[in-house]
Chain A
Amino acid sequence: MNEFAFYVAAAIAVLSTALVITRRNAVQALLYLALSLIAVAVVFYGYGAPFIAALEVIVYAGSIVVLFIFVVMMLNLGRRAAQAEARLLPPRIWIGPAVLAAVLLFEIVYLLARGPRLPVAAAAIPPRAVALALYGPYLLGVELASLLLLSALIGAYHLGWRRQPFPEVRDAPPESPAGLDSGRDSVRAGSRRSAGAA
């Protein structure tokens, strides 16, 4: 890959990550996060790691961020949450992190300017080589990671498990006309209209 493509992808990744932090609307922030992950995948591809690039898109951009968006949609935060976020993050709160980040930026620019250039184009690593490395010298790491994921899975299952499941709504007789619409619906789309009604 030529250097130009690398710098474009890297710039998009940095810019979209900055936008992830500054967006007040959660769904918009998550969309920039997905964009940033795709840009990172392009960078990986350029460095000769097509397998990692593909997994980056499949696992992170394609599944995990979608899951985040799903949860945000389920909570349906809307405009009020954006206002709360705005109150939470007044401009002066940015000063500290901005100064520290600027120091880091200066440092990295300095190092880039005087240090030897790293090669952008490396030899492409085929998926087979990745597999042989993972299940050869790094087998222990893979097993530990899978143990961690398994315990997380069991934990999540335990948290979600109920001894007595809720009776299905469609079988239960309505207790009262008011009970039909009693806060059961966690989904409030078209929030402006329903906010007026509630």
Chain B
Amino acid sequence: MVSPHPLVSLLAILLLALTLASGLIWFERRLLAWWQDRYGPNRVGPFGLLQVLADMIKIFAKEDWVPPFADKVAFILAPAIIVVTVLLSFAVLPFAPGVIVSDLNIALLFFLAMSSLGVYSIVLAGWSSDNKYSLLGGMRAAAQMLSYEVFMGLSLMGVVLLAGTFSLNGIVRAQRHLWFIVPQFAGFLLFFIAGLAETRRLPFDLPEAESELVAGFHSEYSGMKFGMFFVGEYLGITLISAMIAILFFGGWLGPGLPPLLWFFLKLFCFLSLFILMRAALPRPRFDQLMAWAWKLLLPLALLNLLVTGALVLAFLPRR
């Protein structure tokens, strides 16, 4: 397969990520409706597919309001940060052999760095709004994302040990014989839980818990600034799903079908899993969330790393 020019990949991936993220809004609503025995949006266009477009027109037409009591610069900057950090992470994802913007040799660390910078968006939004509920949402987001980041990184180190590289291309190639979901099942579970918390998806959407905090960190946002948070969340889900496919399920690897198709098949499985989580689970209390992170999931991640390290040392040949 001829690999396209990085610039072509860049444009294609950018367009694809944004389209996927907005299409995901429709996908989620339909899927949730199906599970809850109702129709969901089905009026605009075929199967309601154009509903997102209609919503987008509406959101662009809304008044773009900055509250007079807000810290203006931070208020405007916050929604941009989340979209930028998530989109930057897409640059290091290998979609198929050669279809990648930048094959960094520290791609995995780059992903972790970008996801840890994403916290600023939520924290700044909560702080700059100068509103009780926003501030509480922002503080919850800071505590939650900081805690779950710690073992998100640790849960991936087992994969790094097995593959012997931080490069995502290298990690996919290392799974030619065996997907890492088999030796790293614990790592997969931990990463999935951390991914849910990092994207602030239900059941971990405490920073915006509607029943307690109005809309949490984005209470004061309207128009396209709110839209950016919305799209940023769905971009985040797409990113974490793609990372799960790449790190644990062999990325583009698979028999028969073309690699790109395999990748997207896997991607859609995990996107649906994310949505299923929303349909299936209630929200925990915030202290439970923090206690799980530090007292259960972090020790488990350390244990997983320890056992993987010992097994690699004992059985894998020295590189």
Which residues of A come within 8 Å of B, CB atoms?
Answer: 27-28, 31, 34, 38, 50-51, 53-55, 57-58, 61-63, 66-67, 69-70, 73-74, 76, 126-127, 187, 189-192
Please state if A57 and B116 are interface contacts (CB–CB under 8 Å): yes
Please state if A66 and B135 are interface contacts (CB–CB under 8 Å): no
Name 23 A/B residue pairs within 8 A (Cβ), A-sorted: A31-B74, A31-B120, A50-B104, A51-B106, A51-B109, A57-B117, A58-B153, A61-B116, A62-B113, A62-B116, A62-B117, A63-B146, A66-B145, A67-B142, A70-B139, A70-B142, A73-B123, A73-B126, A74-B139, A127-B166, A189-B136, A190-B69, A190-B132
Closest-CB distance, B224 to chain A (whole angstroms) = 23
Given known pairs A58-B153, A76-B135, A189-B134, the reply for A70 and B117 (CB within 8 Å) is no
A-B contact count (CB 8 A): 90
Closest-CB distance, B163 to chain A (whole angstroms) = 12
* Choice from B109, B123, B131, B150 contacting A54 with Cβ under 8 Å: B109
* Choice from B74, B135, B143 contacting A187 with Cβ under 8 Å: B135
- Name A191's closest neighbour in chain B (CB-CB): B130
CB neighbours of A27 from chain B (8 A): 74, 127
Closest-CB distance, B132 to chain A (whole angstroms) = 4
Query: How many residues of chain B get a CB closer than 8 Å to chain A's CBs?
Result: 34
Q: Does B168 reach chain A (CB closer than 8 Å)?
A: no
Bound Cα distance from A46 to B130, whole angstroms: 39
- Name A59's closest neighbour in chain B (CB-CB): B116
Please state if B134 and A58 are interface contacts (CB–CB under 8 Å): no
Please state if A61 and B117 are interface contacts (CB–CB under 8 Å): yes
Please state if B127 and A73 are interface contacts (CB–CB under 8 Å): yes
- Name A194's closest neighbour in chain B (CB-CB): B132
Please state if A190 and B131 are interface contacts (CB–CB under 8 Å): yes
CB neighbours of A70 from chain B (8 A): 123, 139, 142-143, 146
Please state if A69 and B123 are interface contacts (CB–CB under 8 Å): yes
- Name A41's closest neighbour in chain B (CB-CB): B113
CB neighbours of B186 from chain A (8 A): none
Bound Cα distance from A54 to B107, whole angstroms: 9
Please state if A58 and B112 are interface contacts (CB–CB under 8 Å): yes
- Name A72's closest neighbour in chain B (CB-CB): B127
Closest-CB distance, B241 to chain A (whole angstroms) = 22
CB neighbours of B124 from chain A (8 A): 31
Closest-CB distance, B82 to chain A (whole angstroms) = 14
* Chain B 111-162 interface residues, beta-carbon cutoff 8 Å to A: 112-113, 116-117, 119-120, 123-124, 126-127, 130-136, 138-139, 142-143, 145-146, 149-150, 153
Bound Cα distance from A70 to B142, whole angstroms: 6
- Name B85's closest neighbour in chain A (CB-CB): A62
Closest-CB distance, A29 to chain B (whole angstroms) = 13
CB neighbours of B120 from chain A (8 A): 31, 34, 66
CB neighbours of B126 from chain A (8 A): 73
Please state if A58 and B113 are interface contacts (CB–CB under 8 Å): yes
Please state if B69 and A66 are interface contacts (CB–CB under 8 Å): no
Please state if B69 and A192 are interface contacts (CB–CB under 8 Å): yes
- Name A188's closest neighbour in chain B (CB-CB): B132
11 extra interface residue pairs, beta carbon distance < 8 Å, beyond A62-B116, A66-B123, A69-B127: A27-B74, A27-B127, A50-B106, A55-B109, A58-B116, A66-B146, A69-B142, A70-B142, A70-B146, A127-B106, A189-B135
